[in-house]
Structure 1
Amino acid sequence: MADEAPENSTAKTIHGKPRRKRIHPPGVAPVETAATTIPVFDREEVERQVTLAWGFEPRLEEHLGPPPALGPEEGPRVDRLLSMLKDLRGSQRALLFGTPRLREALAQVHPACPSFAEVISLYERAAALSAMTGAPVSVPPVLLLGDPGIGKTHASKAIAAALGVDIHAFSCATSSDAQALLVGHPPTWRGARPGVLTEAMIASASAQPCVLLDEVDKFMTHPTEQPYAVLLSALEPENARAMRDEYLQVPFNVAKAFFILTANDAGQIPGFIMDRVLAFQIAPPSGDALVVIARNIVGDVVASLRGGVSMPEDVVLHRLARSNPRGIKKLVRLAYGFAAAAGRGRLELVDIDAAEAVATGTSKPARIGFLTTENGPLSM
Structure 2
Amino acid sequence: MTDDHPEYVHPPRAERRRSQRFVSPAQTPVRGAGTPEPLPAGALAAPREIAIFDHSALLRQLELIYGRRYMFDDEVELGLPQPSLSNEEQLRLDKLRWLADDERGPLRPLLFGSQVMRDRLAEARLTCPNFVTVIDLIDRAVALSVLTETALVVPPILLLGPPGVGKTHASKAIAASLGTAIQAISCATNSDCQQLVVGHPTSWRGARMGVVNEALLGADSAQPVLLLDEIDKFESHRDEQPYAVLLNLLEPQNSDAILDEYLRVPFDLSRMIIIATANDVDRLPAFIQDRLLMVEIAPPLGADLLVITRRIVTEAGGAITVPGDGVIARLARAHPRQIKRIVRLALGYAAGAGRSHLTVTDVEAAERLAVGTATRGPIGFLQARG
**TM bucket by the smaller chain?**
0.7 to 0.9
**Do structure 1's residue 38 and structure 2's residue 38 form an aligned pair?**
no
Aligned positions of 1:189-228 closer than 5 A: 189-228=204-243
- How far 1:348 sits from its partner (Å)? 1.3
Percent of paired sites with the same residue: 49
252, 266, 275: which one aligns with 1:237: 252
Tell me the equivalent position of 1:119. Answer: 134
CA distance in structure 2 between the partners assigned to 1:216 and 1:138 by the alignment: 22
Tell me the equivalent position of 1:54. Answer: 66
Tell me the equivalent position of 1:337. Answer: 348
Question: Match of 1:124, as an amino acid?
Answer: D
- How far 1:364 sits from its partner (Å)? 2.4
Question: Match of 2:64, as an amino acid?
Answer: L
Deviates more, 1:275-284 or 1:63-72: 63-72
CA distance 1:21–1:332, shift in 2 (3 Å) = farther
Say if 1:331 and 1:355, in contact at 8 Å, map to a contact too: yes
Question: Match of 1:39, as an amino acid?
Answer: A
TM-score (norm. length: structure 1): 0.87
Tell me the equivalent position of 1:277. Answer: 292
CA distance in structure 1 between the partners assigned to 2:188 and 2:380 by the alignment: 45
Provide Cα deviations, 1:329-353, integer angstroms capped at 9, x if missing partner.
0000111122223332211111111
Aligned positions of 1:138-149 closer than 5 A: 138-149=153-164
Tell me the equivalent position of 1:288. Answer: 303
Question: Match of 2:350, as an amino acid?
Answer: A
Tell me the equivalent position of 1:26. Answer: none
Specify the SS of the correspondent of 1:179: helix
**Do structure 1's residue 353 and structure 2's residue 364 form an aligned pair?**
yes
- How far 1:99 sits from its partner (Å)? 1.1
Question: Match of 1:346, as an amino acid?
Answer: H
Deviates more, 1:342-351 or 1:153-162: 342-351
**Do structure 1's residue 152 and structure 2's residue 167 form an aligned pair?**
yes
Tell me the equivalent position of 1:8. Answer: none
Say if 1:31 and 1:134, in contact at 8 Å, map to a contact too: no
**Do structure 1's residue 128 and structure 2's residue 140 form an aligned pair?**
no
Give every structure 1 segment of 4 or more consecutive aligned residues whose post-TM-superposition deviation is greater than 4 Å. Answer: 60-64, 365-370
Specify the SS of the correspondent of 2:322: coil
CA distance in structure 2 between the partners assigned to 1:109 and 1:22 by the alignment: 36
Specify the SS of the correspondent of 2:173: helix
Aligned positions of 1:250-265 closer than 5 A: 250-265=265-280
Tell me the equivalent position of 1:320. Answer: 331
CA distance in structure 2 between the partners assigned to 1:313 and 1:237 by the alignment: 50
Say if 2:53 and 2:268, in contact at 8 Å, map to a contact too: yes
Which structure shows the bigger proportion of residues in strand conformation?
1
CA distance 1:18–1:351, shift in 2 (3 Å) = closer
- How far 1:19 sits from its partner (Å)? 4.4
**Do structure 1's residue 364 and structure 2's residue 356 form an aligned pair?**
no
CA distance in structure 2 between the partners assigned to 1:51 and 1:189 by the alignment: 23
- How far 1:355 sits from its partner (Å)? 0.6
Question: Match of 2:71, as an amino acid?
Answer: R
CA distance in structure 2 between the partners assigned to 1:261 and 1:18 by the alignment: 40
Question: Match of 1:20, as an amino acid?
Answer: E
CA distance in structure 2 between the partners assigned to 1:137 and 1:173 by the alignment: 30
Provide Cα deviations, 1:279-298, integer angstroms capped at 9, x if missing partner.
00101100000000000000
Specify the SS of the correspondent of 2:53: coil
CA distance 1:31–1:346, shift in 2 (3 Å) = farther
Say if 2:59 and 2:100, in contact at 8 Å, map to a contact too: yes
Aligned positions of 1:25-104 closer than 5 A: 32-59=44-71, 62=75, 65-104=80-119
Specify the SS of the correspondent of 2:321: coil
- How far 1:21 sits from its partner (Å)? 6.2
CA distance 1:369–1:184, shift in 2 (3 Å) = closer
CA distance in structure 2 between the partners assigned to 1:163 and 1:139 by the alignment: 12
CA distance in structure 2 between the partners assigned to 1:67 and 1:369 by the alignment: 63
CA distance 1:101–1:21, shift in 2 (3 Å) = farther
Say if 1:33 and 1:134, in contact at 8 Å, map to a contact too: no
CA distance 1:33–1:104, shift in 2 (3 Å) = farther
CA distance in structure 1 between the partners assigned to 2:360 and 2:150 by the alignment: 52
CA distance 1:340–1:22, shift in 2 (3 Å) = farther
Deviates more, 1:294-303 or 1:54-63: 54-63
301, 307, 322: which one aligns with 1:311: 322
Tell me the equivalent position of 1:20. Answer: 37
Residue ranges of structure 2 left out of the alignment (5+ in a row): 1-28
Q: CA RMSD in A?
A: 2.4
Tell me the equivalent position of 1:11. Answer: none
- How far 1:69 sits from its partner (Å)? 1.4
CA distance in structure 1 between the partners assigned to 2:364 and 2:83 by the alignment: 68
CA distance in structure 2 between the partners assigned to 1:18 and 1:301 by the alignment: 46
